[in-house]
Amino acid sequence: MSNATSLYSPSKTLGVEADLQFLERSGEKPRTYTFDPPGGGPRSNARYASRRVAIQDARRDAAAFALDREGFAFVRHQSAVRDFWNEDEIRRVYYAEAERLLRDATGADRVLVYDHTLRRRVPDAEDRAAGLPRQPATRVHVDQTLKSGPQRVRDLLQDEAEELLRGRVQIINVWRPIVGPLWDSPLALCDARTVDFEDLVASDLIFPDRVGETYAVTYNPAQRWYYVPAMTPDEALLIKCYDSADDGRARFAPHTAFTDPAAPWDAPPRQSIELRTLVFHADPGASS
């Protein structure tokens, strides 16, 4: 893995203003096919609109962000993975590293990495296009919902699911660049405390063998947005996509890739990996 150091200087910027893509409400439930839909037609019925938002520089005070408060956290973590495009090495080395990282970060009794996605931006390419790598997700979203979070546990751990769901369950993504410093298509993350539940719109994500559910996100001027400029492969973001605890702690952290206007013109296209994990506490009120 690259040990490139960031050229970022905290004196250069307090943040940026950039366009993010938010859902426009309609009279029907948004749905998106991950493949060409039967009978042809568009893959999605959802309409999005750009909104210019201020995105604050989280690197300036990165240690202040917490999973249970803002819904995301920044960590420094050096991986032993030498080639993130080697699927066997990811599953053999990186999954175990991430499970240890999340146990340390949350105090969890158990962590299960259940899948991962590698992304490499190809200019003007559509996400999920045949023969191309996955592209950065450029619409504001949350990966899980109140419905789909528990369903992931039931789908993956059938015999244990109901017992595990009596405790506290979180779904947390571990996201990192695999080439850096990264300026191209960084992640913007929304402070979960500034998200009204009405901003979240349950949306169907249709696979060939199942229908998942995610949240699309509508614009709200109260939302506060952050990013970490020039991340390196020795840095990662933890992003909360679901939490069964309903006691005021962060439950859902909207996020999206965006075009950073401060990026150098010759910044190489983003390459990144995200892991999706189930994080279990036997005690339903356990603190992270």
Q: What is the mean pLDDT of residues 231-247?
A: 97
Q: Please, are residues 239 and 173 in contact by the beta-carbon 8 Å criterion?
A: yes
- Between residues 282 and 95, which one has the greater pLDDT? 95
pLDDT in tens, 67-79: 999 999 999 999 9
Confidence tier at 5 by pLDDT (50, 70, 90): very low
| Helix, strand or coil, per DSSP, at residue 182 | strand
Q: What is the mean pLDDT of residues 172-177?
A: 98
Buried b (16+ CB within 10 A) or exposed e, 242-269: bbbbeeebbbbbbbbbbebebbeeebee
Least confident piece of the model among 9-13, 192-196, 248-252, 276-280: 9-13
pLDDT in tens, 7-62: 444 445 589 999 999 999 998 999 999 888 888 888 899 999 999 999 999 998 89
- Report the pLDDT value the prediction gives residue 37, as an integer from 0 to 100: 87
Domain 16-281 has CATH 2.60.120: yes
pLDDT tops 60 at residue 106: yes
pLDDT tops 70 at residue 277: yes
- Report the pLDDT value the prediction gives residue 13, as an integer from 0 to 100: 57
Which of 244, 247, 250, 239 has the alpha carbon at shortest distance from 282? 244
Half-sphere exposure of 126 (CA within 13 A, CB side): 9
Q: What is the mean pLDDT of residues 272-279?
A: 98
Percent of the chain with pLDDT over 90: 82
Q: What is the mean pLDDT of residues 182-187?
A: 97
